[in-house]
Structure 1
Amino acid sequence: MLAEPAVMKALGLNAAGAAADDGTGLGAQSCSPSLKGGAPGGCGPLVPVLPNQALRRYAEVMELVPVPGPHGPVLGLNPSGAPSPPHDAADPALAAAIARAIAASTQPVALIRKRLPLIAGWVASQRRAEDERGLPLPPGPADPDRLRIEERREPYAAYFSVHELRLRHRLHRGGWSAPVERAVFVSGDAVVVLPWDPVRDRVLLVDQLRAGPAARGDAQPWVHEPIAGRIDAGESPETTARREAEEEAGITLGRLIPVPAHYPSPGIMAEYVYSFVGIADLPDGIATVSGLDSEGEDIRGTLLAREELTRMTLDGRIVSGPLMILALWLDRMAPRLQAGKG
């Protein structure tokens, strides 16, 4: 599975030259790993490499075994000797980042394999953060060398995970902080979208049982929310918004209008939420009960006049932070959008 030169570099592999002839090398089929887990993606030419521990762990996670070839064993083929099928979402840079995450993880191989789609989604979230917010902008010190993460551990991983960071940072008053330890809940980036029919001036909300309020002992653990979902590796936030609208509410969105993205709780969560208002046709009877059985979802849709959503937000009946943001943003912007000025 060595995916492209970028993945080979990520795993610390060196070219073996003719080493395969003396039994110390391994032929590697250049392939792209599946972003959904399971079989790897499309394959390219053979490259001889010197195996290392990172490669062995990567191969074990991806369930690759060496297959005899004309010039020695080859890694990156199915046991039948056939290349794995191509994967439409292949991305060499993302594949390399996933390989680094697999090699660095101390979790059991079976758990890493099970969580591969989530790991890929988290890695993609880190790449988006670097691309979109990588400059040393205010607030905070202007020096690019202002944060040093000295150690990262993952003491818990099941569906989501917890990372423990040991870090130092520049202080507002000058100099560097003493080492600081922080625990962060890691789930990957998410999308929320509020379907709005500007002609009927109504919105579609969803509600379902939520574990957070239930764990807190809230007597009302069913919460009105916007449509929401995790961004899969290889997806854009816009693609996720459209996919989730179909899965959770059975509706097709037209234009997506970006609303400012945000960190819901930056002190303890790495989640970054991309927000949209989605133009939709919302006639009577379109709200249904839906959701994916495979994910234990029981989601009910509710049609609501936009002004009623604003009233519910202002009088405290809306407790979902992302929905509050969307409701108040839309209350301010709706007249402008309806007039075709936004």
Structure 2
Amino acid sequence: MLLIGPLADPALRLRLMPGAVPADPLAGWRLLPQPDAGIEAAAWPALVADPQGQVAAWRGDWTPALRRYAAIFGLSPVQVAGHEVLGIAAKAPRDPAAPGPGSARDWQPDLAAAMADWVLNLPDTLDAGTIRGRLPMIAAWVSARLRGDRVTADLPQIGPEGQDRLQILSRAEPYAKFFSVEELVLRQRRHRGDWSPEMLRAVFVSGDAAVVLPYDPLRDRVLLIDQLRAGPVARGDRQPWFYETVAGRVDPGETPDEAALREAVEETGLAIRRLIAGPHNYPSPGILSEYLYLYVGIADLPDEVAGFGGLDSEDEDIRSFILPRAELTRMAMAGEIRNGPLLVLALWLELGYARIQGELAPSAEG
């Protein structure tokens, strides 16, 4: 069997078929790039005829890891010029010249490799189709883990000294649907120098999110939304509709800035001109893995931008409205803002709005 495309890349090949050897290229063909290969189930590149084309290939036999991976991602061998080929879509697109979805991005080998490690470490008793249905959330979580490792590598160290201070002994996932719960068994070096006993900790896993408060410095006003929230419903809150601001998950391969701009359009139809980073944070690090990227988004906010928004595909029912920045501050100080990210941004903006207005005054007037 031949591996081609992303499966032939060392990021996946060495994990799935480590004994593969180089094969003669497939002459007369070319691959249509697909940046989400190895991340989404239906996102493998198409093979199309091209008299001048050549596609690199590696030859080898099925391995247990490759069989499990192919079952999870819905991959099946395709007969091409007398060869059994794995790593491409079963059918070419109607327009071979048209790039696939998301093709403005490059393929993401690091994320695809981390995805392979993650799904292959799941229990064999889990049905492959069930895992396939959860790939979008798994990708968001794995992407957040990669981002967390990358952006925190150079932070000043707090806690016990030295690198040998944390041991993760096991990781399990007793609940896995749209979100998941992980159970970690770990040991830590304590501040006084000795090691703790084994500790069981449960963590609610949801990936990273971007939050943006639209602000018009010329009119000195902000845009808020309100919508129903399941958390307060579960708690028995008699007022589960919350004042909030624009927020949403950071998609795999997307930067937090890109997510903030996308969510502003999806939830309010609003085009943000500039993002100003606020205080990014873990809202509840004792039980949540979620990391929030907070922004103030500079935008034009005339009265007519208020209205209704949200995605029907996600059952969102969102109303947006405009109010003066000073009123938002009053609401925050009076306890009328019960959404944590909005509360943080409201108080942060109150401390910095004069500076923002001063920095943007020339462009606002121009």
TM-score normalized by the length of structure 1: 0.90
Aligned to 1:262: 281
Contact 2:271 2:299 in 1 (8 A): yes
Aligned to 2:327: 308
Aligned to 1:23: none
Q: Which amino acid in the other structure matches residue 116 of structure 1?
A: L
Aligned to 1:100: 117
Contact 1:40 1:85 in 2 (8 A): no
Counterparts of 1:320 and 1:277 in 2: how far apart (Å)?
16
Aligned to 1:180: 199
Matched, 1:5 2:28: no
TM-score normalized by the length of structure 2: 0.85
Q: Which amino acid in the other structure matches residue 74 of structure 2?
A: E
Moved more, 84-93 or 52-61: 84-93
Matched, 1:236 2:236: no
1:260 aligned counterpart, secondary structure? coil
Contact 2:40 2:73 in 1 (8 A): no
Q: Which runs of 4+ in 1 moved over 6 A?
A: 81-85
Structure 1: tracts of 5 or more residues without a match: 19-29
- Mapping 1:73-88, distance limit 5 Å: 73-80=84-91, 86=100, 88=103
Deviation at 1:11, TM superposition (A): 3.4
Aligned to 1:24: none
Deviation at 1:331, TM superposition (A): 0.1
Matched, 1:45 2:88: no
2:305 aligned counterpart, secondary structure? coil
Deviation at 1:134, TM superposition (A): 2.5
Deviation at 1:49, TM superposition (A): 3.0
Deviation at 1:51, TM superposition (A): 2.4
Counterparts of 2:99 and 2:60 in 1: how far apart (Å)?
23
Matched, 1:277 2:296: yes
1:334 aligned counterpart, secondary structure? helix
- Mapping 1:1-342, distance limit 5 Å: 2=7, 4-11=9-16, 13-16=18-21, 33=37, 35-41=39-45, 44-70=55-81, 72-80=83-91, 86=100, 88=103, 89=105, 90-106=107-123, 107-135=126-154, 137-340=156-359
Contact 1:4 1:31 in 2 (8 A): no
Deviation at 1:17, TM superposition (A): 6.2
Counterparts of 1:3 and 1:335 in 2: how far apart (Å)?
55
Deviations 1:236-278 (A, max 9, x none): 0010000000000010001100002100110111000001000
Contact 1:154 1:161 in 2 (8 A): yes
Deviation at 1:37, TM superposition (A): 3.6
Structure 2: tracts of 5 or more residues without a match: 1-5, 24-32, 48-54, 362-366
Deviation at 1:58, TM superposition (A): 1.0
1:152 aligned counterpart, secondary structure? strand
